A = this chain, B = another copy of it.
């Protein structure tokens, strides 16, 4: 099995709210938009973020876990410069996200989180290490 992730699917309660946040708020452009069903957004060279109506998700995958606490998954968006972390978190806050301000981390990076309308956590990260370089598109190239 090749080491490849093609889609990341998040089950969402209300696609209109989700579209408002990601498209109007963050400025992302959908690749596919079927109101009430699914919103797909390109998030890498061969990667799509799929925001899927929770009822359809549950019909296919099964009942989701509910209750207090965060989903045990985060999505990270890495940036080239430390200062960009605060700028992106500020943009997310303007779009209505709950923001957990960035902190210097023991491993040498600087990261913070925001929660989307369903509470899914995005980490905005500056990672000056080797793994950090791996995930960054070349400066000057397509970003």
Query: Which B residues touch A41, using CB under 8 A?
Result: 3
The answer to whether B48 and A45 have CB atoms under 8 Å apart is no
The answer to whether A5 and B40 have CB atoms under 8 Å apart is no
Interface residues of A (CB under 8 A from B): 1-11, 26-29, 31-32, 40-50, 54, 57, 61-78, 88, 91-92, 113, 118, 120-121, 123, 125, 131, 134-137, 143
Query: Which B residues touch A54, using CB under 8 A?
Result: 72
The answer to whether B143 and A4 have CB atoms under 8 Å apart is yes
With known contacts A5-B77, A73-B73, A45–B42 Cβ distance under 8 A: no
With known contacts A46-B134, A48-B131, A63–B71 Cβ distance under 8 A: no
Q: Which 10 A-B pairs have the closest CB atoms?
A: A65-B69, A11-B72, A7-B76, A6-B135, A6-B78, A64-B72, A5-B43, A9-B74, A63-B69, A46-B135
